[in-house]
Amino acid sequence: RVQAPIDWVGMAALLWAVVPLLLALSWAGDRFGWTSVEVAALLAVSLLGAGAFALAEHRAADPVLPPTLFRERTFVVASAVSFLTGIGLFGALSYMPLFIQGALGASATNSGLVNTPMMLGLTVASLAAGNVASRTRRYRWTVIAGGAVLIGGMAIMAALDENTALLSPIAGMVVVGLGLGLSMPLLGLAVQNALASRLLGVATASTQFFRQIGGTLGIAVFGTIV
């Protein structure tokens, strides 16, 4: 079996696209304003890198991110949902402890422990979702239900203020964890069932990549709001 050449050009172009984007999202609202020249320049460089990456992938013999993946509706939807859930997951994990300590006056230890109920909810919901999917061979409505529960949890947390009892943010975190647990694991399963076996590795990794990018964007946006 002849080994396909490594897509060095594609990997370099991907770094060209992603690194300036991450820097722009990390610095916007902190070191520089969202409308500053520095952030605009980084976003422009990232956009050029994305164009170079798309061109490189169309020409590569064994691309890092095969363009054919984007012809699969399941992959596109799963990547978009992963991106959005990344915003909710990392945004909640990063800033809820800050709210607990800064607005409600809890100790640093208690503010850190508030993430525990969310992870417990995520674990329980993941187990339940996996059992449902394995028995029914269906997962679409479970993923949709997870998204609805996630929205409900974010709505609970959006209503919090300095007079809120400590149980309210804990309840919101539990609901968010349940929503994430119902949807996140099944997204990878949906992608794996929809694609050929030779694309499973890159497709799974790509959905995780989009989730991480969503998390970075969520932290940046929520940080600016804070």
Amino acid 41: pLDDT: 95
Q: Which helix (H) or strand (E) holds 207?
A: helix 200-225
Which amino acid is present at 185? P
Amino acid 44: pLDDT: 95
Amino acid 2: pLDDT: 54
Mean pLDDT by 10 residues, the chain (226 residues): 75 91 83 88 94 90 85 88 84 82 81 82 89 81 87 87 83 89 83 81 86 84 76
Reduced to 3 states (helix: H, G, I; strand: E, B; else coil), residue 226 is: coil
Amino acid 119: pLDDT: 86
Amino acid 147: pLDDT: 86
Are 149 and 204 spatial neighbours (Cβ–Cβ below 8 Å)? Answer: no
Tokens of 59: 């020409």
28 bridge partner residues: 32
Amino acid 138: pLDDT: 79
Amino acid 40: pLDDT: 93
Are 65 and 79 spatial neighbours (Cβ–Cβ below 8 Å)? Answer: no
Are 202 and 64 spatial neighbours (Cβ–Cβ below 8 Å)? Answer: yes
Amino acid 37: pLDDT: 92
SS (H, E, C) 25-81: HHHECCCECCCCHHHHHHHHHHHHHHHHHHHHHHHCCCCCCCHHHHHCHHHHHHHHH
Residue 91, number of CB atoms within 10 A of its CB:
23
Amino acid 69: pLDDT: 86
> Does the predicted model carry a pTM greater than 0.85?
no
Show the DSSP H helices in 108-199 as ranges.
108-113, 115-136, 140-158, 167-194
Residue 209, number of CB atoms within 10 A of its CB:
18
Cα separations (Å) of 211 from 8, 27, 98, 109?
24, 20, 22, 28
Are 49 and 13 spatial neighbours (Cβ–Cβ below 8 Å)? Answer: yes
